[in-house]
Structure 1
Amino acid sequence: MPQHLIRKLERFTRLSYEDKGALNEAASRKVRHFAAHQDIVREGDRPEHVNLILDGWACRYKTLEDGRRQIISFFLPGDLCDPHIFVLREMDHSIGTITQVRLAEISRDSILDLTERHPRITRALWWEMLVTAAVQREWTVNIGQRAGLERVGHLLCELFIRLRSVGLTEGDSCLLPITQVDLGEATGLTNVHVNRVLQELRGNGLIILKGRQLTIPDLEALQRVSLFSANYLHLDHEGRHLDANGSVQPPT
């Protein structure tokens, strides 16, 4: 069961058993495994299916001719790598793994069938695409206007909250398998600058980093320092309280 995706989509609308069954069937037809630091799809490839991240972390990136890389977004468990990517003639970016990744390849026909036969899934996917666009806008602001400490802190807040929304945090801690180089490529900072920022965040008691584990003792404090507002993630959409028939669920 692609439980992380279902949990994300149900923030928008409550899915029926039939909806969940259709998603499960589509996500189980072809499951692939990738090692860390491996391309899932390369710029110039012809996209023929949608990739759903089941386990592990990946990223969307662009590479300049001289080898410099810009990470454009991170993919976490439950993320679809663009639900309608197959309408493009060729990829204009690459998607690569950060950790080992298990993903489902969902065919063009399966996506079309889901959207034609399951209107609640269709509405939820519209919402998901709008949130993805909102995240991309926020990343542009992050690189263009925020200072170094604010950029890194903002990204850590976003990743933690996204992981929490699909049940992948434990209290104030979460897995953070990205390196300082990855952080630099996502925030437009040098490795030296990223190291200095992390030391400052640690020194101020805003984060604890132990290996691949991130702890944020006071999320509100980190949000204030990073000028972070979670509004662009649209976690409080009113539709999450609706059942599969559109009626309001009683409180539990």
Structure 2
Amino acid sequence: MTAAAPALAGLVRRLESIGPLTAAEREAVADLPAAIRTLPPRCPIVREGERPGQCCVVLQGWLCRSNVLGSGKRQIHSLHIAGDMPDLQSLHLPVMDHNLDTLTPALVAAIPHEALRELLASYPGVAAVLWRGTLIDAAMVRQWMVCLGRRAALEHTGHLLCEMYLRQQAAGLAAGFRCPLPITQSDLGDALGLSTVHVNRVLQSLRAMGLITLQNGTLRIHDWERLVALSEFDPTYLHREDAPV
């Protein structure tokens, strides 16, 4: 195995949460060549309009994909945690149509496109799992569109908290209805389409209802069933092989 193999264990785990891999496929993924980088928060990884030659794997920390308007307003349209490969589409869409940035201090691995193409040609099972992963990403985008367009702020926020808990649980980063949520209220606002003041009011309301507490970058969900009911959260769109909470 290469030196990157232990670092890519999170990617292997993420892929296996999407679909089955053989031992040979797991080893091939773990052996991908990767340049490991430590990045500060709010660091650009790929900018809109660029032509990257590699894909990024999140090893630690949180990343986001976003677009920024001429006014400077930002819309975050996905959040990414350890094990995610948020710019896989650059393998087939050469020009980036959005930005990829860190939200927190992060450790990332850059895998050359050529190495990924060789992997997919040699291991069709890995290609199938990655394809299924892109379909799940599209399903999450659809849910975010519904939330942005039709859900009230309280339900929308609750829905996002439920999603991030289950995604982190699948990645081995959350348990017991407790998970990291290390991003700022400003970042949450950019994901929810709300002002920072409105985000603060919604979080206070969820806390007053006895549903959550958010302190020092850690989210605790005190009543999962009520939060799910309030948010009309149905985890079907995450297409997890194992049962949700």
Per the TM superposition, whether the score is higher than 0.5 is yes
Paired with 2:89 and 2:108, the residues of 1 have a C-alpha distance of 17
Paired with 1:12 and 1:181, the residues of 2 have a C-alpha distance of 31
3-state SS of 1:50 partner: strand
- Return the offset for 1:40: 0.8
* TM-score, structure 2 normalization: 0.92
2:152 aligned with 1:147, yes or no? yes
Give CA deviations for 1:9-40 in whole Å, capped at 9, x if unaligned: 213433222211211111x5311111111111
Paired with 2:77 and 2:19, the residues of 1 have a C-alpha distance of 28
Structure 1: runs of 5+ lacking an equivalent? 239-252
2:47 aligned with 1:33, yes or no? no
2:209 aligned with 1:179, yes or no? no
Give CA deviations for 1:191-214 in whole Å, capped at 9, x if unaligned: 111111100000011001111110
User: What letter corresponds to residue 217 of structure 1 in structure 2?
Assistant: H
With a CA cutoff of 8 Å and minimum separation of 6, indicate the structure with the bigger relative contact order: 1
Percent identical pairs in the alignment equals 41
Paired with 2:29 and 2:169, the residues of 1 have a C-alpha distance of 22
User: What letter corresponds to residue 226 of structure 1 in structure 2?
Assistant: S
Question: Which residue pairs with 2:16 in the alignment?
Answer: 10
Paired with 2:124 and 2:140, the residues of 1 have a C-alpha distance of 24
3-state SS of 1:169 partner: coil
Give CA deviations for 1:105-162 in whole Å, capped at 9, x if unaligned: 1111111111111122111101100000000010000000000001111001000000
How well do the aligned residues superpose, as a CA RMSD in angstroms? Answer: 1.5
CA contact (8 A) 1:154 1:228 kept: yes
Instruction: From 97, 110, 117, give the equivalent of 2:115.
Output: 110
CA contact (8 A) 2:34 2:112 kept: no
Question: Which residue pairs with 2:58 in the alignment?
Answer: 53
**Structure 1 stretches of at least 4 aligned residues deviating more than 6 Å after TM superposition:** none
2:28 aligned with 1:22, yes or no? yes
User: What letter corresponds to residue 220 of structure 2 in structure 1?
Assistant: T
Give CA deviations for 1:153-200 in whole Å, capped at 9, x if unaligned: 100100000000111013111110111111111011111111111000
- Return the offset for 1:8: 2.3
Aligned residues: 237
Question: Which residue pairs with 1:123 in the alignment?
Answer: 128
3-state SS of 1:66 partner: coil
Paired with 1:52 and 1:7, the residues of 2 have a C-alpha distance of 12
Paired with 2:18 and 2:212, the residues of 1 have a C-alpha distance of 31
* TM-score, structure 1 normalization: 0.90
Question: Which residue pairs with 1:62 in the alignment?
Answer: 67
Paired with 1:170 and 1:231, the residues of 2 have a C-alpha distance of 20
Paired with 1:78 and 1:113, the residues of 2 have a C-alpha distance of 20
Question: Which residue pairs with 2:3 in the alignment?
Answer: none
Question: Which residue pairs with 2:173 in the alignment?
Answer: 168
CA contact (8 A) 1:180 1:191 kept: yes
User: What letter corresponds to residue 166 of structure 1 in structure 2?
Assistant: A
2:232 aligned with 1:233, yes or no? no
Q: Which deviates more from structure 2 when the two are superposed, residues 79-88 or residues 112-121?
A: 79-88
3-state SS of 1:67 partner: coil
2:118 aligned with 1:99, yes or no? no
User: What letter corresponds to residue 36 of structure 1 in structure 2?
Assistant: P
Question: Which residue pairs with 1:81 in the alignment?
Answer: 86
- Return the offset for 1:237: 7.2
Structure 2: runs of 5+ lacking an equivalent? 1-5
